[in-house]
Amino acid sequence: MEDPEIGIPSLSRRKFLAGSAAVLAGSSFLAACGSATSTGSTPTTGTGSTKYTFVLIVVVKGDPFYVTMQKGAQAMADKLGVKLLVDGPAQFSATLQAPIVNAYIAKKVDVMIIAATDKQAMIAPLQNANNAGIKVISVDTFIGNGDYTSGPVTFPLSYVGSDNVQGGVIAGQALIKAIGNKGGIFIENVTPGISTTDQRQQGCIQAIQATNGAVTLVGFNYDNDSAATASQQISALLSSSKGSQVNGIFGTNLFSAEGAAQAVKNANKQGQIKIANFDAPQEAINDLNNGAVDLVIAQEPATMGSTAVQYGVYALTGKTSSIQKRFATGYVVIDKTNVNDPASQAAIYKSS
């Protein structure tokens, strides 16, 4: 699926920690695939003491990515004297998330930090929050096209999250190296319309196209955030005429990669078909250590949470000049060669 997003500014704080001290930029990333990558930084905190009420609304409650984000947000809230509430739907659904937004509009919170479940469907509910005087900050995902300076949606104060096109490129480049720089890659995606996974697919396709035909895109599919569906889809793919073309699979989130890994194992092709997993809960690291997946791409959700809370305080205390409309966090690339390194271990998401 082509995602017609307006380009987001590149990561101004991106730095890559490589075992060989190589800078991971452009094609040089391929030489450092086996090393850890850490990027992003948190803005300097203020000294606020006024009690404000913030709400962090996540995509799915209990997901380790958002648990880690909550920990970062709570640490900053404690530091700045902010009351932080956390909520979210039990399933990845704009239909379930919109009423939660409405409930916190009614509670008159001061700041709403939200990972929107859909970049179009959540515009109207969040516009209502803004109209009610609530400061809106996007984390992880965005609404509209994510360009809050000149795009179609500009009322959110900031979009704090990974550069997911860049993340898709990084995952694609790492997977391309893992398959020997030639062959076919299949993308197992979640649901059309999710800003983050749309862009990860876009970035992976860019990495494939940059090989000038040495690596081809076999195809892509959507599993509705279900590992079981992903497994069924990949099993069907591997038993089809296209199966022999697949050398690598990019799972754009945990469940997509888990399902793909199970299908590959069932087909007795574990190790032959390489799998890249986007996001790094402990389950993904277990899969890496067990050989079910070959690469894990970790984001920095704690930094997203802490930065968003700091930005909310800036907005409420007249320090809007300190708020960047786009604050891009970074990645850590984990494989078996560096999984036990401190940078990699620190990047693993927390489940509680």
Look at residue 42 in the predicted model and tell me its pLDDT: 43
Dihedrals phi, psi of 106, to nearest 5 degrees: -65, -30
Angle between helices 195-209 and 164-178 (to 10 degrees): 40
Evaluate whether 130 touches 105 at the Cβ level (below 8 Å). Answer: no
Look at residue 71 in the predicted model and tell me its pLDDT: 96
Q: Name 128's bridge partners.
A: none
Take residue 177 and report the two structure tokens written for it.
Answer: 């190296």
Q: What is the CATH number of domain 44-163+301-329?
A: 3.40.50.2300
Strand order of the sheet with strand 215-222? 215-222, 183-189, 248-251, 274-278, 295-298, 332-334
Look at residue 18 in the predicted model and tell me its pLDDT: 32
Evaluate whether 298 touches 331 at the Cβ level (below 8 Å). Answer: yes
Look at residue 17 in the predicted model and tell me its pLDDT: 30
How many alpha carbons fall within 13 Å on the CB side of residue 170?
32
Evaluate whether 314 touches 323 at the Cβ level (below 8 Å). Answer: yes
Q: Which residues lie closer than 8 Å to 272 by C-beta, 6 or more apart?
A: 247
Evaluate whether 161 touches 307 at the Cβ level (below 8 Å). Answer: no
Residues of the chain with pLDDT under 50: 1-49
pLDDT in tens, 27-60: 333 333 333 333 333 444 444 445 899 999 999 9
What is the Cα–Cα distance from 265 to 245, expressed in whole angstroms? 17
Look at residue 51 in the predicted model and tell me its pLDDT: 87
Ordered by start, the domain boundaries in the chain are 44-163+301-329, 164-298
What is the Cα–Cα distance from 98 to 248, expressed in whole angstroms? 37
Classify 183 in phi/psi space as left (phi over 0), alpha (psi -120 to 50) or beta.
left
Q: Report residue 158 CA to chain centroid gap.
A: 16
Look at residue 272 in the predicted model and tell me its pLDDT: 96
Do 44-163+301-329 and 164-298 agree at the fold level? Answer: yes
Evaluate whether 95 touches 38 at the Cβ level (below 8 Å). Answer: no
What is the Cα–Cα distance from 155 to 178, expressed in whole angstroms? 42
Q: Which of 201, 282, 176 is nearest to 1 (CA)?
A: 201
Around Cβ 184, how many Cβ atoms within 10 Å?
20
Look at residue 137 in the predicted model and tell me its pLDDT: 98
Pick the CATH number of 164-298 from 3.40.1280.10, 3.40.50.11810, 3.40.50.2300, 3.90.230.10: 3.40.50.2300
Report the sign of the C-alpha dihedral through residues 287, 186, 166, 32, in that order: positive
pLDDT in tens, 256-278: 999 999 999 999 999 999 999 99
Dihedrals phi, psi of 343, to nearest 5 degrees: -65, -40
How many alpha carbons fall within 13 Å on the CB side of residue 160?
31
Look at residue 50 in the predicted model and tell me its pLDDT: 57
Look at residue 25 in the predicted model and tell me its pLDDT: 34
